[in-house]
Structure formats: C-alpha cells, structure tokens
Copies of this chain bind each other. A is one copy, B any other.
Amino acid sequence: MNFDEIPIRVRYGETDQMGVVHHGNYALYLEMGRTEWLRKKGVSYNQMEKNGIMLPVISMRLDFKKSAVYDEVVKVKTQLKKTPSVRIEFDYEITNQADEIIVTASTELVFINMETKRPMKCPDYILEKMNN
C-alpha cells in the first residue's frame, strides 16, 4: 500500500492575518507527509542524505479548496504516484477535522548523487522497500 496519513496540529505562527494557515506553509506539511511515508516504508530520508543522496523538489502544485485554522489537527495523506526512477512523484490530500479536503497537491523530486551533483536512478535497496 503506497499510501500513508499523518496528523499535523496547526501552529499559531503558521496562520496569517486572514486567520488561516498561510498557503506557503503547506510546503512544510507535504514535506512531513513524504518523510513519514518513506519512514513507514523503512527508508529514512535523513539516512539517505548521509549516504550521499539528496532529493530536491523540482515541481510543486497546490490547489487550495478550503482553509485550515489555528489548533486544528489536519491530516496529510501521501501517495506514491508511480514506481520511481530518476524522479519520484507524490500526490497529497490534506483534510480538516470534518474530513473535508482542504488542499490537493503533487510534488516531483529528483534523486541527486551529492558527490557528482548529477541525477541518478532510485537505488535498488530503496525501490525494494517501496514495493513492499
């Protein structure tokens, strides 16, 4: 199952003067979503970076349907789009406490060899874990 869900409680400092979560902060929520998705697959993004692979974001799309408010616990649902090769793509749905979808999003990231600074294929040991 290439799907995971985490709760995030909205911080006061994440709101803006409209009284809702500032749209830019959702980038951090997506980042947490895919970090935990990877962790549940047995992949530590932190360890990956220490092993010389980084995963910069090359595209991000966000559609904002509704707002989230301070102290609300939203849920970030992260789903792998397809088997990764050089790129890895995720889709996201963020829902509020009433289970309404407030944000849909997608991101593309690329595996980079930190030594050569060049794109590389997703390592086999990660692919194997993802397929479980």
Q: Is A132 an interface residue (CB 8 A)?
A: no
Q: Is A86 an interface residue (CB 8 A)?
A: no
- By a CB distance below 8 angstroms, the chain B residues around A25 are 24
- By a CB distance below 8 angstroms, the chain B residues around A46 are 70-71
A35 to B57, CA, bound (A): 26
Is B27 touching A13 in the complex (CB atoms < 8 A)?
yes
Copies in the complex: 4
Q: Is A11 an interface residue (CB 8 A)?
A: yes
- By a CB distance below 8 angstroms, the chain B residues around A61 are 59-62
Q: Is A23 an interface residue (CB 8 A)?
A: yes
In this complex, what residue of B is CB-closest to A107? B23
Q: Is A19 an interface residue (CB 8 A)?
A: yes
New A-B contacts (20) at CB < 8 Å, excluding given A9-B32, A23-B56, A23-B57: A11-B28, A12-B17, A12-B35, A12-B45, A13-B24, A13-B27, A13-B31, A17-B19, A18-B56, A23-B60, A24-B31, A35-B71, A45-B71, A46-B71, A56-B64, A56-B67, A59-B64, A60-B61, A60-B62, A61-B61
